[in-house]
Chains A and B, each alone.
Chain A
Amino acid sequence: MSKRLPPQHDEWIDRKVKIDFWFEGTKISAYKGDVISSAVIANGQRILARSFKYHRRRSTVSMANHDANVILENSMETNIRADVTHPSAGTHYRAVNTFWGLKRDLAQVLNFFSALLPVGFYYKAFYRPKFLFPLWEKLIRSMTGLGKVNSAAPSWRQARKQLFCDVLVIGAGTSGIAAAESLGKTKLKIIIADENDYFGGTLGYRHNNDQSAKKFKDTAIKNLNNFSSVSTFPMHYAAGFYEGGTVPLIGPDGIKEVHTKALIIATGSYEQPAVFRNNDAPGIMLLSAAERLMSRYSVLPCESAVVLAGNTEAYERAINLKNVGLCIVAIIDLSSVPDAHDAEISNARNAGIKVTKIISITEASLHKGELSGITVVTEHNKIENILCDGLLMSVGWSPASSLLVQAGAKLSYLPTLEQVIPVQIPVGTYAAGQVNGIYEFKSKIDDGIAAAYEAAQFLGCDLPVVTRPERGRCAHSHPYPITAHPKGKEFVDFDEDIQLNDLRTSWREGFNSVELMKRYSTIGMGPSQGKTSNMNGVRILAHLNQQTPGAIGTTTPRPFTHPVAIGALAGKRFRKYWRTPMHKCHQKMAANFEENGHWLRPMFYGKGSKQTLIEKEYAAVRTSVGIIDVATLGKVELFGPDCIKLLEYAYTCKFDKLRTDMTRYIFMVDGSGVLIDDGVAARFSDDHFYITTTSSNAHTVVKQLRLFADLSSLNVVIVDRTRQVGALNLAGPLSRKVLSTITDQSLSEADFPYLAIREVRVANVMARVLRVGFVGELAYEIHAPANSVQAIWDALTVAGESLGITPFGVEAQRLLRLEKGHIILGQDTDGMTTPFEVNLGWGVDLSKEQSIGKNALVQLKRQTKRLLVGFECIKIGQSQILECNLIIREGSILGRVTSVAYSPHHKGIIGLAMIDSTAALPEKICIKTSKGNLIDARIVSMPFYDPENLRQSTH
């Protein structure tokens, strides 16, 4: 039976466009503009969900996403808020967290066991006997959680936009649009946002019969859309306030991060429910839910309604609804103040509505799971039953002040209003309208304009001061709309199924402050985050503590106002990718790449057995010539008279012995003496140096150099050339022969000694050639502009083809350097390694007056406790030893292996190990494999290969 009303003016549905979908197996006909709930209710079904703990039947309470009663899922999406989500055609929706469907939910049996499941029941049970707990936990876990997540659901991301404005207005109700409109003619850039599909707020569903209100709304909204300096964002909610004035607006097409100079919060307030036995029955809802259903979606919430009036506005609203087709059986007045509503009562009676003054509403009765009647205690203390299938509650409001508090405001409870108002609002933020305790229509307009003018003045505009309207002396909220019942089921928090007794029990068990009560009872911790429960919770706690609600305080409101999807927050996916100038060339050579920070580096080339391929590359370097891309190294050019001052401060060594056109190995420590980088320094002149750094630390080293230079105001210019300059290393006994064919520079020992640097043309490209020895062979490292280095590589490849030139990758390089005992920072060193622990004490000059980490190094030199040693293990062929296998002595950990490999030269396993050196170094060490076997290894001196270093430095 359709509950659809005839067309209401300004309804949000478009009856020309039909959308069909499925709800729990039933086909539902909807119109474009309908939300899922409105369509299902229009279709005659009001039981829309099951509650979280007791699986009681539930329906919509606010129709505004202030409650989270109706949460649905479909095959791909989960946790859909049916009250504010438009249905997709053809989709099958079902209620979450039911066992065998909404109608027959088997878990409703929990409702009968609810007495055994009081607040905090899980803290009091299930842990003895211990072995049963995992089973209990599994059961409890399966009962908790709402929607199911489909691990095959499509992944999506929405780009986030950054918007900047002068004034951001949150809330386009009466006050919000008044505020924005009043500034429309100034030069200020205004953004106004509202979570609803259309602007207007209560003007759209409460004041539809009020011509002046309608005129105001239509005119103001038209103006807002016409002002060039105003941007309007319906369907966007403010997720939170972040320092600096950033408010992300969440909309269907993505997040707009708004950075504003001034903020006007006109977010209104959340209508509050009354608490009494069975107040969660389908058919019991906030009066505003009925207003929204009827005016936005033209849906009748019920056949015969009772309005629970706890404030004056209930009456006008009830009459309004009667006028558009709702049958109101009675208004029951719950005023705590006698004669408070006498004028309104007589209006209602004149309009033909019965009004009964009551002391309390004690319970609701159900038939087939839906509301069928209520029981009240009248002012004459008589018990009266009223038949109805709808109870519309107008007992009070809780301001939507979370953004204000996040912006720094405090909340103060105003007894005259029986609600909190914001106080001590920091400059730049302004509250207006119901969130500010202003209820009267004209006052809301004035409050909005006043807030706008204050904001404008803050921004330097010359506008008159407008006094704020008075808040009024009557309370719009009932101070205690709560009635206890001996049989319980008076729900305070619908999300978490928390009853009045749960809060009483929490209190008695010592959880008697607002924070402890929240955490123990979980009130306000559900999906709606307490929008329709926190205030009643505060009132109840105040009652129990015999304090005022103001003294109780509130819990901390945190982002987000409504939940925000991970895909919207993630934004578009940006990842940095850096490629060396020779990347395509590596690809052509079937390189096997590995990520090294943002770089991709070839580990080895070719298809087949990794071990075989690496050994082939290794052999080429040792016997003929190999070529490796080292473009990822950091490269820094230093100019100026204070170059040496800077280098001697930043690095551990002295540079006086470094001659012109020569290089040396350098390394850097931090303030605590720990090694953080190494590289090579080349001197061109006293005021011109060129240094390299490790690939991963290039930006850090440059940053540090700049810092030191600035702190001491050094006369030095630092140019980071890491990504301008490509580099390759030509290594092997035949490297000189190959290089000599493509350069005019003499490569003789006299003209180009070990560690020299020369600026020469190579393959007709101006390059820098350094004779360095990382892999232990005669080698030339060639640095050239990034767009030219490929030409050098190609020329070398051609020149060396007959000699067997072979590209080699990082794996082969690791093995080659290991045979020379060279360390790799980050592998042979860790976050605590000092130079003394890795045989680099020779490079630490403590006679310098000032260098980073010097004071630490002075002390650390005296107390070196670990040492990096070389070991060999001839007995085993294939390595069972892995990096970071432990070294064991008498059952204790002596150290660990940092590098290990099979050395073709040594014909056995060699490696480096960092071991405790406080006792005398042993001859043998015992390595524990990952499987637990113990293998003996012998400590040997390094290098393992060419101990005299003849191959790299002479020839």
Chain B
Amino acid sequence: MSMRLLKYAFIEDYAEDNWFNTPSDLKPTYDVVIIGAGGHGLACAHYLSQDHGITNVAVLDSAYIGGGNTGRNTTIIRSNYLTPDGVKFYDQSIKLFKNLSCDLDTNIFFSERGHFTLAHNTSTLRTARWRAEVNKHLGIKSEVINPDEVLRACPEIQIDCGGSQAVEGALYHEPGAVARHDAVAWGYAKSASARGVEIHQHTPVIGINTDSEGVSEVVTPRGVIKTRTVLSAVAGHTPSVSKMVGIKTPIEIFPLQACVTEPIKPWLNTIIVSGSLHMYLSQSSRGELVMGAALDPMELHSRRSTFEFVTGLCDQVLDLFPFLSGVKINRQWAGMADMTPDFAPIMGTTPVKGFFLDSGWGTWGFKATPISGKTMARTIAANSDDPLIRSFNLARFKNFDLVGEKGAAAIGH
């Protein structure tokens, strides 16, 4: 049991200090301005301050800490990607996740559950094997399993899926995990704040100025900040921000919806994903089933929910878990995803000196939170792309040098 909790018990009116360093005024200048106080932006701030001694940092957000996609995702963490670059990148992230609670002194509830990507036909089974082989070769525990093994791990699954698109096998990924998304953002914020990083909520960026040397100023309604280094970490809004410095990206914004059921006693101890049925689900530590489906079909800069999403998802969920008919959905919400043509992020330096991108996170952003923060911090400190993210640079599209993740495009969660 924790000493911290005992303090609560015995010291009246005990509360810990404010987790966040949120001064009421902006300074006229900072060494680094990070746009976006989500998991990625705050992780970068943490590693800048911890690994590189760069603490004169301001993290700006138009709303509240973690209010963007960090607070809206379905918290799945995995590294069973298709390309060696992708696998190595996400594997590093998982390694960081494993120690993150201790590193941040905040329990992020990193819970290894195992991750099953169900295959309902030979084609997806083949792709599953492709991923498994690449994973295994790089030392990641992934394997193609047959329907019996799926049933053993999750006896509640209806393998024949109601009579069409039966489960033919699955890509089983042992390191698959979930974590408490808010806690990740708060934990990084707390740690960065302790080292002097400033967080300014409700401070939208309305312009970024450049001069002959590159980035020069960040304009907000609360004042203009002079800086030579700006990181854009604003999933869902990247094109609007990059446009401020005249950069065009391939990113297209699509809503991504999710929903939760009422809390029920734990029964699902793994993460189930099905590309063919366009759905994925897991059970949170609160007991709620957290579920999602495919992206909305059209570009839209809005977080509105649709009835089509939740009815379509329930239709598919009952094919896999027919007994869930009486379980009720409590709430649905949405985030806005930065979609890229090759299902890989866009990170690192850009043609504008001093302007860095941490973007293009589509439906694969939360799981990369720690490693993106770490590599962006290294990239910013050295002013050159960290080797781990070189293949994610914006310039790759110009040269048709796309990341090979597109080879296995599926629902990807």
**Any chain B CB within 8 A of the CB of A8?**
no
**In the complex the two chains form, is A124's CB within 8 Å of B107's CB?**
yes
**In the complex the two chains form, is A153's CB within 8 Å of B323's CB?**
yes
**In the complex the two chains form, is B317's CB within 8 Å of A570's CB?**
yes
**In the complex the two chains form, is B332's CB within 8 Å of A147's CB?**
no
Residue in A137, A504, A594 whose Cβ sees the most chain B Cβ within 10 Å: A137
Given A115-B8, A141-B287, A147-B264, CB of A893 within 8 Å of CB of B329: no
Given A123-B107, A559-B331, CB of A527 within 8 Å of CB of B130: no
Contacts of B8 in A (CB 8 A): 115-116, 118, 121
List residues of A (833-876) whose CB comes within 8 Å of B's CBs: 856, 859-860, 863
Instruction: Give min CB distance, B257 to chain A, whole Å.
Output: 11
**Any chain A CB within 8 A of the CB of B261?**
yes
**Any chain A CB within 8 A of the CB of B211?**
no
Instruction: Give min CB distance, A829 to chain B, whole Å.
Output: 9
**In the complex the two chains form, is A144's CB within 8 Å of B133's CB?**
no
**In the complex the two chains form, is B133's CB within 8 Å of A79's CB?**
no
**Any chain A CB within 8 A of the CB of B64?**
yes
Which chain B residue shows the least CB distance to A130? Answer: B102
**In the complex the two chains form, is A559's CB within 8 Å of B9's CB?**
no
Instruction: Give min CB distance, A714 to chain B, whole Å.
Output: 27
Contacts of A116 in B (CB 8 A): 1, 5-6, 8-9
**Any chain B CB within 8 A of the CB of A423?**
no
**In the complex the two chains form, is B107's CB within 8 Å of A157's CB?**
no
**Any chain B CB within 8 A of the CB of A883?**
yes
**Any chain A CB within 8 A of the CB of B299?**
no
List residues of A (760-795) whose CB comes within 8 Å of B's CBs: none
**Any chain B CB within 8 A of the CB of A100?**
no
Instruction: Give min CB distance, A738 to chain B, whole Å.
Output: 31
Contacts of B267 in A (CB 8 A): 148-149, 151
**In the complex the two chains form, is B329's CB within 8 Å of A566's CB?**
yes
Alpha-carbon distance A153/B322, docked complex (angstroms): 8
**Any chain A CB within 8 A of the CB of B384?**
no
List residues of B (279-321) whose CB comes within 8 Å of A's CBs: 285-287, 304-307, 310-311, 314-315, 317-319
**Any chain B CB within 8 A of the CB of A803?**
no
Given A79-B327, A884-B129, CB of A832 within 8 Å of CB of B407: yes
Q: Per a CB cutoff under 8 Å, which of B5, B63, B324, B327 touches A121? A: B5
Total A-B residue pairs with C-beta atoms closer than 8 Å? 284
Contacts of A577 in B (CB 8 A): 164
Alpha-carbon distance A341/B289, docked complex (angstroms): 48
Instruction: Give min CB distance, B345 to chain A, whole Å.
Output: 17
**In the complex the two chains form, is B264's CB within 8 Å of A79's CB?**
yes
Q: Per a CB cutoff under 8 Å, which of B9, B264, B402 touches A149? A: B264
Which chain A residue shows the least CB distance to B305? Answer: A559
Contacts of B265 in A (CB 8 A): 97, 142, 145-149
Q: Identify whether the interface residues of A are mostly helix, strand, loop, or mixed.
A: loop
Q: Per-residue CB proximity of A125-149 to B under 8 Å, as 1/0?
A: 1111010011001001110111111
Q: Per a CB cutoff under 8 Å, which of B63, B306, B330 touches A563? A: B330
The interface on chain A, measured as residues whose beta carbon lies within 8 A of the other chain's beta carbons, has a size of: 101
Given A144-B287, A242-B306, A831-B406, CB of A149 within 8 Å of CB of B323: yes
**Any chain A CB within 8 A of the CB of B17?**
yes
Alpha-carbon distance A596/B311, docked complex (angstroms): 25
Contacts of B99 in A (CB 8 A): 130
**In the complex the two chains form, is A566's CB within 8 Å of B144's CB?**
no
Interface pick from B18-26, B228-236, B241-249, B364-372: B18-26
Instruction: Give min CB distance, A556 to chain B, whole Å.
Output: 8
**In the complex the two chains form, is B201's CB within 8 Å of A513's CB?**
yes
**In the complex the two chains form, is B102's CB within 8 Å of A145's CB?**
no
Contacts of A97 in B (CB 8 A): 265
**In the complex the two chains form, is A515's CB within 8 Å of B263's CB?**
no
Contacts of A319 in B (CB 8 A): none
Residue in B182, B286, B333, B408 whose Cβ sees the most chain A Cβ within 10 Å: B286
Which chain A residue shows the least CB distance to B202? Answer: A513
Instruction: Give min CB distance, B227 to chain A, whole Å.
Output: 25
Given A509-B15, A883-B126, CB of A832 within 8 Å of CB of B101: no
**In the complex the two chains form, is A123's CB within 8 Å of B5's CB?**
no
**Any chain A CB within 8 A of the CB of B409?**
yes
Residue in A115, A121, A150, A154 whose Cβ sees the most chain B Cβ within 10 Å: A115
**Any chain B CB within 8 A of the CB of A569?**
yes
Alpha-carbon distance A863/B120, docked complex (angstroms): 35
Alpha-carbon distance A148/B327, docked complex (angstroms): 10
**In the complex the two chains form, is B129's CB within 8 Å of A930's CB?**
yes
Q: Per a CB cutoff under 8 Å, which of B67, B183, B406 touches A515? A: B67
**Any chain B CB within 8 A of the CB of A87?**
no
**In the complex the two chains form, is A153's CB within 8 Å of B331's CB?**
no
**In the complex the two chains form, is A571's CB within 8 Å of B323's CB?**
no
Alpha-carbon distance A571/B164, docked complex (angstroms): 17
Contacts of A137 in B (CB 8 A): 109, 111, 285
Alpha-carbon distance A127/B1, docked complex (angstroms): 10
**Any chain B CB within 8 A of the CB of A922?**
no
Which chain A residue shows the least CB distance to B318? Answer: A570
Alpha-carbon distance A240/B8, docked complex (angstroms): 40
**Any chain B CB within 8 A of the CB of A303?**
no
**Any chain B CB within 8 A of the CB of A896?**
yes
Alpha-carbon distance A673/B111, docked complex (angstroms): 42
**Any chain A CB within 8 A of the CB of B71?**
yes
Contacts of B63 in A (CB 8 A): 515
Residue in B8, B102, B318, B324 whose Cβ sees the most chain A Cβ within 10 Å: B8
Instruction: Give min CB distance, B84 to chain A, whole Å.
Output: 6
**Any chain B CB within 8 A of the CB of A248?**
yes
Q: Per a CB cutoff under 8 Å, which of A242, A832, A928 touches B402? A: A832
Contacts of A257 in B (CB 8 A): 307
Instruction: Give min CB distance, B314 to chain A, whole Å.
Output: 4
Given A242-B306, A527-B262, A883-B129, CB of A566 within 8 Å of CB of B2: no
Contacts of A501 in B (CB 8 A): 13
**Any chain B CB within 8 A of the CB of A160?**
yes
Contacts of B129 in A (CB 8 A): 882-885, 930
Instruction: Give min CB distance, A281 to chain B, whole Å.
Output: 23
List residues of A (497-549) whose CB comes within 8 Å of B's CBs: 501, 504-505, 508-511, 513, 515-516, 519-520, 527, 529
Q: Per-residue CB proximity of A556-577 to B under 8 Å, as 1/0?
A: 1011100111110111010101
Contacts of B180 in A (CB 8 A): 123
Q: Per a CB cutoff under 8 Å, which of B162, B264, B406 touches A573? A: B162
**Any chain A CB within 8 A of the CB of B16?**
yes
Given A123-B183, A510-B20, A565-B327, CB of A886 within 8 Å of CB of B262: no
**In the complex the two chains form, is A595's CB within 8 Å of B164's CB?**
yes
Alpha-carbon distance A932/B138, docked complex (angstroms): 12
**Any chain A CB within 8 A of the CB of B136?**
yes
**Any chain B CB within 8 A of the CB of A748?**
no
Q: Per a CB cutoff under 8 Å, which of A118, A133, A146, A248 touches B262? A: A146
**In the complex the two chains form, is B15's CB within 8 Å of A504's CB?**
yes
Contacts of A750 in B (CB 8 A): none
Contacts of B264 in A (CB 8 A): 78-79, 145-149
10 contacts between A and B (CB under 8 A): A116-B1, A125-B1, A149-B265, A149-B267, A240-B305, A240-B307, A519-B182, A575-B163, A886-B137, A930-B136
B interface list, Cβ under 8 A from A: 1-2, 4-6, 8-10, 12-20, 22, 63-67, 71, 84, 98-99, 101-102, 106-112, 120-123, 126-127, 129-130, 132-134, 136-137, 144, 155-156, 162-165, 180, 182-183, 186-187, 201, 261-267, 285-287, 304-307, 310-311, 314-315, 317-319, 322-333, 341-342, 399-400, 402, 404, 406-409
Q: Which 3 A-B pairs have the closest CB atoms?
A: A145-B287, A567-B325, A155-B322
A interface list, Cβ under 8 A from B: 76-79, 97, 115-118, 121-128, 130, 133-134, 137, 140-142, 144-157, 160, 240, 242-243, 246, 248, 257, 486, 501, 504-505, 508-511, 513, 515-516, 519-520, 527, 529, 556, 558-560, 563-567, 569-571, 573, 575, 577, 594-596, 672-673, 826-827, 830-832, 856, 859-860, 863, 882-886, 888, 892-893, 896, 928, 930, 932
Supply 18 further A-B pairs (C-beta < 8 A) apart from A115-B9, A242-B305, A672-B341. Answer: A124-B106, A126-B107, A127-B102, A142-B265, A144-B287, A150-B323, A154-B325, A508-B15, A516-B64, A564-B329, A566-B314, A569-B315, A569-B329, A570-B317, A594-B121, A595-B121, A883-B126, A885-B129
